[in-house]
Structure 1
Amino acid sequence: MEIPFSKISERLNNRRFAVANNSHGVSGAGTVFHYHIEGESISSTYQGGRISIGHQVGRVTGPDTIELLFHCLTTEGKILAGWSRGTIGADHEGRTTLTFVWGWLSGATGGGESSYIELAA
């Protein structure tokens, strides 16, 4: 019997992702996200580009869905925090993809949609 959410762990645990599209966000070219999964718990760190350091914490919500809270310190010295809901998929080459709907909770207003692609090992 397959353990619930094990596919998400296989697709995310100890993997790195780059921004594919995030026109309304702060992360962009040069920002790398590094995910860790333990059971249904998710954590990650991210940095690069306009991000000095950032963290995410969240949980698995379905067979291919997650929700996260995030915060970061930008290279301009701003502290930002927000929420996101994401879907995990795969591209035609088999690399893991992440797509999110997100919004700011502190430090900025608005939100948007973003997508990310797994970096080669």
Structure 2
Amino acid sequence: METPFSQVSERLNNRRFIVANNAQGLSGTGTVFHYQVEEDAIFSTYQGGRIRMGNQVGRATGPNTIELLYQCLTTEGELLAGWSRGTVGVDQAGRTTLSFVWGWLSGATGGGESNYVEFIA
């Protein structure tokens, strides 16, 4: 049955993503995000690069929009937390894309924009 959040679930559930652009953030080359979706609820884990371990929890807010809270422990021992609002899309190759506006809540200041693309092994 189609729900208002079916596209988010179809595009994110059990899929992995890598950084396409994140100039102001910590995640970068080597960071992999793995998403799980249940109805409008979203959960992910991520690690690699400067991220020792991290997770996100959030929800779908529309047919192709999501909001997340994230936290991570860096390889330098920093504990950081933040928020993001994103759009789920599709590139010309058919891979799922994620575009975020984000900011820090704890452990750092500032924010930025970032883009991710589905990792297909």
What interval of TM-score do these two structures reach, taking the shorter chain for normalisation? over 0.9
1-structure distance, mates of 2:2, 2:101: 28
1-structure distance, mates of 2:41, 2:80: 22
1:54 maps to: 54
1:73 maps to: 73
Aligned counterparts, 1:1-121, within 5 A = 2-121=2-121
Q: List gaps (5 residues or longer) in structure 2.
A: none
1-structure distance, mates of 2:45, 2:2: 28
1:78 counterpart letter in structure 2: E
1-structure distance, mates of 2:4, 2:108: 36
TM norm structure 1: 0.98
Residue-pair matches, total: 121
Q: List gaps (5 residues or longer) in structure 1.
A: none
**Post-superposition CA distance 1:29-60 (Å, at most 9, x none):** 00000000001000000000000000000000
2-structure distance, mates of 1:119, 1:30: 11
2:61 counterpart letter in structure 1: T
TM norm structure 2: 0.98
Alpha-carbon offset, residue 72 of structure 1: 0.1
Poorly superposed stretches of 4+, deviation over 3 Å: none
**Alignment RMSD:** 0.8
